Structure 1
């Protein structure tokens, strides 16, 4: 898990609560793999940030992953990762320190993403 680079700055407490309702740490087979892509020399998460944080909080050191084959806007992901670098978010452990109420998540993260779209 330590090698997985997040591509978002915050975790919604509300979304985490929903994941924790079904997440069973003793049953790893029920955990869907996290989608990842390579960005330069890093492995970045393209989805599943909340699940990874739930796994970390449950004491997991590894999670299943798969290579995301979807066509994604890698320029946007590069910007997201740059923001993460600037904020010191380099792995799920760092991201777990940034759990915020859902309304604050919407304000902080979604607003920032919208600003990226508007300035592109």
Structure 2
């Protein structure tokens, strides 16, 4: 399906300069037809990007209004909602808001992957506590 890029909400704080360069190279070749659709989750009146931030950013830079997308069926919806909230706290509401958050590959890996590890641990504890509270309330 085609989704308007302006309807996409990031769940990622940074972009990799290397990944973006690789996508740009694909975009300039005939292989753009073979680029996988991005993965999304419905959330309110927008769609959360679960995979494909670099592809969405490049599509926007290339002047496209829409991008191919498919619904993510891998689960983890609660995590993505928390990631989206973390983005909003940093004033990242759209793909274009990542413009000043493009990092060299080694910095991207250090900042993003380390942040994700810590965030995922905290989020797991939070979601477990909420589930435990719900279980106690239903007994």
Shared fold, TM over 0.5: yes
Give 1 or 2 for the bigger CA radius of gyration: 2
1:83 matches 2:97? no
SS in 1 for 2:41: strand
Q: 1:52 aligns with which of 31, 51, 56?
A: 56
Match of 2:10 in 1: 6
CA–CA separation in structure 2 for the residues paired with 1:27 and 1:59: 18
The RMSD of aligned alpha carbons is 2.0
Which one has the bigger helix percentage? 2
Q: 2:113 aligns with which of 107, 110, 113?
A: 110
1:21 Cα deviation after fit = 2.0
Consecutive unaligned residues of structure 2, counting only runs of 5 or more, are 126-139
1:39 matches 2:30? no
Q: 2:24 aligns with which of 20, 23, 45?
A: 20
1:48 Cα deviation after fit = 0.7
Match of 1:29 in 2: 33
Consecutive unaligned residues of structure 1, counting only runs of 5 or more, are none
Paired positions, count: 119
Of structures 1 and 2, the one with the larger relative CO (CA 8 A, separation 6+) is 1
CA–CA separation in structure 1 for the residues paired with 2:82 and 2:67: 25
1:92 matches 2:98? no
* Shift >2 Å, 4+ stretches: 24-32, 39-42, 117-120
